[in-house]
Amino acid sequence: FNSLTGPLGEPPIKFLKTKALLLTSSKGLRIMSCERKFFGDVKFVKFSNNCAYSMQSAAREVSTSGVDPRIVGTVMAFSHWTFQRTDGFLMVVDLQGCICEDGTITTSLQKSNDAKAAAVKKTKTKKVLMTDPAIHCLDVTRYAPLNLGRSGMQAFFNGHQCGQLCRRLGLEEVSQVPSPERC
């Protein structure tokens, strides 16, 4: 996606890297995930959820949030692109994260009270840094529990209006998500 939209002047969309932890103790096995967290003067934006909400469909929210409408369009086009790129098999939704307004996003390890462990990372390129997405997939045995399958995809497209970037990427408008055939 970024290789297609970068030359068009769009900000890249990145995701925080997540690590899986397996913790063993006398009480048994615990499985956890961890990632760096945002801190500092950054604006956290909820662009969409895994159901009917998208910032794009709440036009008033775009105008009052201070978020550049073009970035909202980029993020929504990303969800649409994931759908078309996988031939409608899955799509990435529930997009939320921080927009770098001033050229810097700062993250730290979650052990932020441990100064030595708080490896600070600064990124000077303007971008949208996402966390904790959900995936709707025709195979509903994957990506649970937020995977709403075809109905989740339909909910996205019910509230999605293709913008200029969708058209420049050659994305086809979707009014009815086809019924699954391969699961």
Pairing of strands 13-15, 128-130: parallel
**Binding-residue pattern over the window 162 to 181 for Zn ion, x denoting contact by CB under 5 A:** x---x----x----------
Question: What are the tokens at 126?
Answer: 């303007």
Shortest distance (Å) from residue 160 CB to Zn ion: 6
CA distance 3 to 20: 28
Residue span binding Zn ion (CB under 5 A) among the ranges 3-11, 32-40, 73-81, 86-94: 73-81
Phi, psi of 106 (to 5 degrees): -120, 135
Residues binding Zn ion: number (CB under 5 A): 4
Burial of 28 (0-12, 13-18, 19+ CB in 10 A): exposed
As measured in angstroms, the least distance from the Cβ of 30 to Zn ion is: 40
CB of 120 vs Zn ion, minimal distance in Å: 36
Q: What is the bridge-based pairing of β-strands 90-93 and 13-15? A: unpaired
Sole window of 52-60, 76-84, 85-93, 146-154 interacting with Zn ion (rule: CB under 5 A):
76-84
Interaction site with Zn ion (CB under 5 A): 80, 162, 166, 171
